[in-house]
Structure 1
C-alpha cells in the first residue's frame, strides 16, 4: 500500500476555450500527476484576481495587472501565459469613433484588475485614484480621462448594444464576435501596445502560491507545462473539450481563438515575453496606476 502523501492543488481558471484547452490534460486525467491531485474551479478572471488577493488557490490564472498586487504571496509560472502579439483587448462602440473620442465617455469594463483595464488607462491617459484604485472593489469609477462601469466580461457586448454605456472594453471571444452585434472597433489595445513599445501585450498568466515551497512550485509548474504541451500535441481532442466553453463560437472561430492565446508564448514567456511583462508593469507604475514597483519572480 502506498504511503505517499497526496497534495491537493486547487486550480482557478476562466471558463473560456483557451484556458479549457490549456488545462484539458489536467482536468481529464490525460497525464500522470504523481502525488498531486488537481481540482478545478472555473470563474471569470476578475473574480480570480480578487480571490488571489486572499491567496485562496494554490494555482490560479491571474491578469498581469492583478499580479502587480500579489507578489508577496504568488510567483508567476513561466508557462501558461496569454499574450496578445499585435492583438488584444478591444474597445467597441455602437457608432464609429476615434480613440480621442473615448475621453470623457463611460466605458463598460470587465474588472479593474484586468490587464485590459490597465491597457485602456495607459492608452487614454487615465489614472484611477483613491477609492477608485484598481485594488479596491467597486462597480463604477472615474479614471480621470474616462468614467467606467464594471460588468461581467460576457455581458459587455450586450451592454454596449443596448446603449447602457458609451463603449465597451472586450476580452476573450468577444474579440471575434463583436461584429455580429453590429458594433464598431475603436482600438485594439494589443496593436496599440505593439506600436508604442515594439512588444507583445502580456494579458494573463498562471500564478503559483509561494507557501507551497520551491520543490512543489517547480513540480506543479512542470505539470502545467505538460498539460499545455499535451493540448498542442492533441489539438483536435483538446479543441473538442474546449468548445463546450466557447460562447457563440463555431468550431472555426474556437480554433482561431485558441490559436491566439495558446501557442509558443504559452509554453514559455521567453526573454521577450518577460521583457514585455516588466515593461507593462513599469509603465503602470510610472502612470500611478500600480502603487509600488513590481519585482517579478518566474517559476520554470
Structure 2
C-alpha cells in the first residue's frame, strides 16, 4: 500500500523520516511517498485533506480534527524551542500595536503564540519563514516572528530579540511548547494508523542510533546550512517527545486547543485527538 507523507525540508524533519522514506528500516510492506514542502503549505494542504499523513503546525490542528488524528511519534514539542519575536538593532522600538509584524503563516503555532503574548497587535503580514529576516532588514516590516534555523543566525545579521514567545508560553501554562505534530487521515484503518506511528518511531530510533552523523538526505535538503547549524536544529527540535508525545505532550496539546478556543471565541471538540498509544 502506498501512502503520501508530507514534511518540511528542515533538518529536524528529514532526520526523523530519513530511515522511513529511504528504506533504511523494514517498512512492513508499506510504500511511503515523501512530499517535502514548507509548513504553511502543509497546513493548507491539511485543510484540504490532500495528504494521507502530514506534519502540521499545531496552530492549524483545531481546523482539521474532523479529518485527521494526531500520531504519537514524529512531532516537535519541547522547552526552550519556541519562536522568537525580533527586530532590527538600529530601530527605536515602537509600541507593538503600532508595529507592522511579519508572521510565518496564518495557521502556524508561531502566530498563535504571538497572538497569546501580544493580543493588541493587529498589523500583521504573513510571509514564508525564510523571508522574514530580509523583510525586517529592508524595512518592509518593523519586526517579525522567526522559527527554525533563523533562531541560530538572526544575531549575525544585526537583529535583536524582543521576546521569546516559547518562554512566554511555558511561563503562562507550565507546559512544553507544542510546535508541530504528525497527523494521519481518520478514514484510514486504525491498524494502518498504528503501523505508521510505529514506523515513524522506528525511523527516528534508527537516526538517533547513528547520530551525530548527518546523512546525505538531511544535507541535501538543508540548502546552505552548515553541519553545525543542522545539528543545532536537530538537537533543539528532536527529543523524547518526538519518539512519543507521552502524558506531558498530550497535556500540552490539549492546553493549546483550549487556548485556541479562547482566543478565537469558538468551541473545539478536544476529545479523540490522539491515536491510542500502542507503543
TM-score (norm 1): 0.87
1:76 to 70, 73, 92: 70
Return the alpha-carbon distance in structure 2 between the equivalents of residues 222 and 100 of structure 1. Answer: 49
Tell me the secondary structure at the aligned position of residue 185 of structure 1: strand
SS at match of 1:103: helix
Deviations along 1:259-290, whole A, 9 cap, x unmatched?
A: 11111110011111111111111011112266
- In the TM superposition, what is the alpha-carbon distance from 1:172 to its structure 2 partner? 0.9
Q: Is the contact between residue 80 and residue 166 of structure 2 (CA under 8 Å) also seen in structure 1?
A: yes
Gapped regions of structure 1 (runs ≥ 5): 1-6, 127-144
Q: Distance in 2 between matches of 1:99 and 1:74?
A: 42
Of 38, 53, 56, 2:32 maps to 38
> Does the 8 Å contact 1:84/1:190 carry over to 2?
no
Q: 1:28 to 1:265 in 2, by over 3 A?
A: same
Distance 1:100 1:61 in 2: 36
After TM superposition, the score normalised by the length of structure 2 is 0.93
Offset from partner CA, 1:201-220 (integer Å, 9 cap, x none): 11001001111111111111
Distance 1:271 1:17 in 2: 26
* Residues 120 and 189 in structure 1, CA contact (< 8 A), matched pair in contact too: yes
281-290 or 64-73, larger mean C-alpha shift: 281-290
When the two chains are superposed, the root-mean-square deviation of aligned CA atoms in Å is 1.9
**How many aligned residue pairs are there?**
276
SS in 1 for 2:66: coil
Identify the residue that residue 53 of structure 1 maps to in structure 2: 47
| Structure 2 alignment gaps of length 5 or more | none
1:197 is aligned, of 149, 173, 177, to 173
* 1:108-142 deviations in Å (ceiling 9; x for gaps): 1111110000000011125xxxxxxxxxxxxxxxx
1:158 to 134, 153, 171: 134
Q: How does 1:121-136 map to 2 (within 5 A)?
A: 121-126=115-120
Structure 1 residues 290, 234: CA separation in 2 closer, same or farther (over 3 Å shift)?
farther
State the distance in 2 between where 1:13 and 1:63 align: 11
SS state at 2:148 partner: coil
- Among residues 82, 99, 111, which one is paired with 1:117 in the alignment? 111
CA deviations over 1:85-109 (Å, ceiling 9, x no partner): 1231111101378998322311111
**CA separation in 2, counterparts of 1:216 and 1:247?**
34
